[in-house]
Amino acid sequence: MNNALLPEFDRYLFGQGISREAYRMLGAHPEKDGSWRFAVWAPNALGVSVVGEFNNWDPLSHPLDAVEGGLWAGRIEDMRAGQLYKYAITSPEGRILYKADPYGVTSEVRPGTASRLWSIEGYDWTDGAWQKAKAGEGVPYCRPMAVYEVHAGSFKRRENGDELTYRELAAELVPYVKEMGFTHVEFMPIAEHPLDASWGYQITGFYAPTSRFGTPQDFMYLVDQLHGAGIGVILDWVPAHFCKDAQGLRRFDGLAVYEHADPRQGENPQWGTCIFNYGRNEVRSFLISNAVYWLKEYHIDGLRVDAVSSMLYLNYGKEDGEWVANEFGGAENLEAVRFLKDLSIAVEETAPGTILCAEEASAYPGITESAKNGGLGFSFKWNMGWMNDMLAYMKLDPVHRKYHHDKVTFSLMYAFSENFILPFSHDEVVHGKHTLLDKMPGNYFEKFASMRALIGYQYAHPGKKLLFMGTELAPFMEWRFYEQLEWHLLQYDMHRHMQHYIKELNHFYTAHPALWKLERGWDGFKWLSADDRNRSTIAFLRMAPGETAIAVVVNFTPMVWENYRIGLPEPGTLTQVFTSDGGFYGGTDIHHNLGQMKTEEVPWNGFDHSLTLTVPPLSAVYYEYKPQKPGTAGAKTGAPKPKGKRSKEA
């Protein structure tokens, strides 16, 4: 064995499952003398060689040396950046397998499956101030966060239908997101994947930004431009599973290496993919290093970890007999739990200020509790319970909504148990689910009004915000990954009004700290009216110390409520500052609440003071609330708390 090829300490970290930069040891790297250094983990292989354009894909031409720990390494001269290569791996049964480099940094364009020699060095970053501020300010728990979820291949396309490059996308996406007032972009998975229809969620090249849109440096440019515009970048990251394509990780050296050998543990029948073996040290090093790689080498600001529920539970998507219980007889995947905790600690220590989001729909506790305190260590969790309840509620004819009022209010029973993001993501506008607009009942104008009211409630409800790209265009047709968004809809008034509404709502939200400064506790939220089910209307306060409180009234019926009375904690005034019913947003433009409105000494709903409003139909209306006694808006009162049964997704 030629152990001198790879540093002993690096091999130790990798083998112990604690390496955070395994990509510096493994993969293909240019050396100062002009040669290329190769290293790959294939513990069951009888032999490994590098094949490619440089040797006519001859598996006998350039063998690698065996190194302790199942590693293979070597140097090859007379190669150049851009050449294609694979590993030719001789399996224990003597077959030769041609595999892409698990640590390869770029690949040939689909349908090709080879890795491509490339260096990720040399990009001249201009986001130093952004990086310094991010590390100093930390995760934006007490700052605004409005996320625009993007599929890079279908935001916009060229006139001939071809996809934009990363640099062309930067020219289109960055100014648009900035103008629309979003604070972050979240890219659906960028890592290399063979099938466009998987949207990037079934990966073969975990370290390679997809070559569909350009080089690694081109993707760096896109991130750099977003940072220059003050926009954070979150990347969907998929450590839950990988696809079975022959060039990928499955049975990498002829046996199960990255996955469990037992299909009850190593396969996800629901998705037709392989599940990572989180108990294997080298796999843990592969995944944790991959997270660090995106954060450090591509300056990504956050990772949204996909399908966390499938990682946490051994029986996820499986029937009895299709899964193996843990050592205590339970369904929790203890190895995955340990991995997620180690991941969050590694991210916190190596890339301070990184946002770590969990797409997780179960009742697993402590998702956003620090791993050092027994939690999983995520910054935020997607609030799938709120999303599912609200969409189920909004699909109802308004006449029936009073019988399901708890779907609107129940989220406040658990809203402060985790740090939440409220998502309306791509998953809700595909596979026959209808678009957000088309889920709404009623006539043409009522559909738009209902959608504006729903998003108005989303932006006032505790939790950060996420909208899938194109939501602002209010399409009737579901998202299609193979063509650009329906930008032509902006020639029609109601669709243009919706875009304007979401733009104005984003800017209003970021300008009013009461809506985002206190997200996890009753000090930032107070019900004014939670139980008015007969009129399907709610009212509440959002508050933060030293900030003007915002009172919110949301009417989920097409009726106008005249003389609608709400109680308030202290005598003071309300002033309407934003309404989804404005004519410039396509609403009825009912403005009966103009100017300052003073409270009366009329007890109402547990409060000593109240006033009356005109509540527009299918609307969300925001008011500035200024008590006569400054700082008392958050005082404890007898205000009602929500009632309702627990949602399955909560």
Tell me the residue length of the chain: 650
What gap in Å lies between CA 273 and CA 301, rounded to an integer? 28
Residue among 127, 192, 282, 306 flagged as catalytic = 306
Could you give the residue ranges of the DSSP H alpha helices within 298-409?
308-312, 334-350, 384-394, 406-409
For residue 351, the number of C-alpha atoms closer than 13 Å in the C-beta half-sphere is 26
For residue 467, the SS3 value is strand
65 and 1 Cβ atoms separated by less than 8 Å: yes
| Tally of CB atoms within 10 A around 10 | 17
Q: Dihedral through CA 109, CA 112, CA 118, CA 122, nearest 10?
A: 10
- Amino acid occupying residue 205: G
What gap in Å lies between CA 587 and CA 48, rounded to an integer? 67
- Amino acid occupying residue 95: R
Residue among 163, 168, 282, 359 flagged as catalytic = 359
Closest residue by Cα to residue 358 from 371, 376, 339: 376
- Give me the long-range contacts of 331-340 (CB less than 8 A, separation at least 24): 333/278, 335/277, 335/278, 335/279, 336/278, 336/311, 336/312, 337/312, 337/376, 338/278, 339/239, 339/278, 339/284, 339/287, 339/288, 339/311, 340/305, 340/308, 340/311, 340/312, 340/371, 340/376, 340/377, 340/378
150 and 176 Cβ atoms separated by less than 8 Å: no
Between β-strands 380-382 and 355-358, what pairing exists: parallel, antiparallel or unpaired? parallel
Closest residue by Cα to residue 297 from 152, 173, 125, 107: 125
Between β-strands 355-358 and 205-209, what pairing exists: parallel, antiparallel or unpaired? unpaired
Beta strands, E only, 8-67: 27-30, 36-41, 47-52, 65-67
Between the two ends of the chain, the Cα-to-Cα distance in Å is 54
What gap in Å lies between CA 524 and CA 516, rounded to an integer? 9
Closest residue by Cα to residue 36 from 89, 108, 101: 101
- Amino acid occupying residue 379: S
Task: Give, in order, the Cα–Cα distances in Å from 297 to each of 68, 209, 217, 467.
Answer: 28, 12, 10, 27
Could you give the residue ranges of the DSSP H alpha helices within 17-96?
none
Annotation says 359 is catalytic = yes
Residues that are catalytic = 306, 359
